[in-house]
Every structure is written in C-alpha cells, then in structure tokens.
Amino acid sequence: MIFESHAHYESERFDPDREQLLASMKENGIGTIINVGSSVESCKETVKLMETYDFIYGALGVHPSDISGLNEESLKWIEEMAAHPKTVAVGEIGLDYYWEKDPEIRKQQKYWFRRQLELAERTGLPVIIHSRDAAQDTMEIMKEASQKGIRGVIHCYSYSEEMALEYVKMGYYIGVGGVVTFKNARKLKEAVEAIPAEKILLETDCPYMAPEPYRGKRNSSLYLPLVAEKIGELKGLSREAVISITTENATRLFRKAGAAES
C-alpha cells in the first residue's frame, strides 16, 4: 500500500467530490495519507479530516506565505493539537523567497520558521519543510535543527543533487512528487538518482503538481503510481519496490502513523 506523505484535501478544489474520492483510496492501493496544513484555517480543516477518516493523519503548521495569520495564540493552539494522537508532524513550514521579495517579510518568515521548529523540538514531532528559492537560508536553519535532533522531510524537493546529499547526511528525507515525471526536471531526476531509495518519500502536494500525463490538471493521491514508476526507472527498481520502500520510509519518519497502522 502507498503512503501519501503530502496532500491538501481540505482544498476547495476537492469540494465537488471529496467524499467519493477519499472513499476510493483504499481500493486503489493508497493505504495512508498525511493531510498537511498550510494556514491556521487549513490546519483546522486538517483536524476535521483526520478525525473523520481512519487512514488520514495530519500535519499542523503554517506555510511561509501564510504567516500573517500566525500569532502567539494560534501557535499555542497548534502546540495543543500536536498532542492529538493523529497529528504526526509539524508542517508545512519553511521559507518561500519566490513569492516574497520584501526583506522585512523574509525576516518574519525566518522568525516563524524557527518558532515552529522549536515547537517540533518540544513535541518530538518530525517536520515537513517547504522551501522555494531559499536554498542557503533553509540549509543553515535545518543544520541547526538537525543538531537539536529534529527529524523531517524536505518536501517537493527542488534544489541540487549536492544539497540533497547534504540533507540526507543530516538524516532528513527528500519528498518527491509529480515534478519528477516532467521532461524539464533534469535537476530533480539527478537528485533522485544520487540519494538512497531509503531516504525518499512519495508525495503529491495535491491538488497541485499533477504528474504527466495529467500535468496542469487537478492532482490526487490516485496518481502516485505514476510517480513511483518514474522513481523506479531512475533507480533501477520496480514500481512495487519503490512503493514498499517509500511506505517503510514514511512509517519510520512519521512514527505516530506507523504505530497506529501496526
């Protein structure tokens, strides 16, 4: 069974058919899903989803582009909810300099990134990292985090092969999704070839990032076999082997989801 490590099923793009779609996951080989919060509002929706579906777990955290909704009170709520038996990670958190050019706001992104890493350290949960056009600052902050024993995944990985190897050395996992099937994704393919399969997590980031031949359309966990197939091609593994290795990887990282499964 596939372990989907990054989905946003609270998105309004699933409003027309969310229930039917989620009901079809198990029969299509999707065993476990982590729904990932990105704003305070979507974290609340994530809690509803994880309390409704036995195979859905939650990651709670605020995305760098949504930090305007973050304050001491909402951070405290996230920390309280981190104790929920189905909250398996803090995320998605990180830095996004692609969408944010203002140096003052970038500073705020770093501030709230660090505050949420501290929360992860206190609660013992792994982190799900979003990082776009912020390679150096993310690397610096994640180095400090690894020294504090914080575990996690660099989601939708988009940097160099060298940097992927550095993250792996620090114990982090690399999240790989639909982008790996794109023709122009040479850098990501090289990174996937370079890192051990034991450090890769399967993810969609749905509704975004649909793999070929659905690029540009609404994504869902049902397309993950296409991603596993591509990773298998790059690593000389069968699709089935990629699915079983990445499920083991995710169960190792997201301990609270693993414990509930076995």
- Residue numbers belonging to the annotated binding site for a divalent metal cation: 6, 8, 92, 130, 155, 205
CB of 130 to Ni ion, least distance (A): 6
Point out the annotated binding site: 6, 8, 92, 130, 155, 205
* Comparison of 207 and 258: residue with beta carbon closer to Ni ion: 207
CB of 174 to Ni ion, least distance (A): 15
Only one of the segments 18-26, 171-179, 200-208, 231-239 lies at the binding site for Ni ion (rule: CB under 5 A); that segment is 200-208
Q: Is 205 in the site for Ni ion (CB under 5 A)?
A: yes
Only one of the segments 9-17, 22-30, 66-74, 197-205 lies at the binding site for Ni ion (rule: CB under 5 A); that segment is 197-205
Size of the site for Ni ion (CB under 5 A): 1
Strand partners of residue 154: 129, 174
CB of 62 to Ni ion, least distance (A): 12
CB of 34 to Ni ion, least distance (A): 10
Residues in contact with Ni ion by CB under 5 A are 205
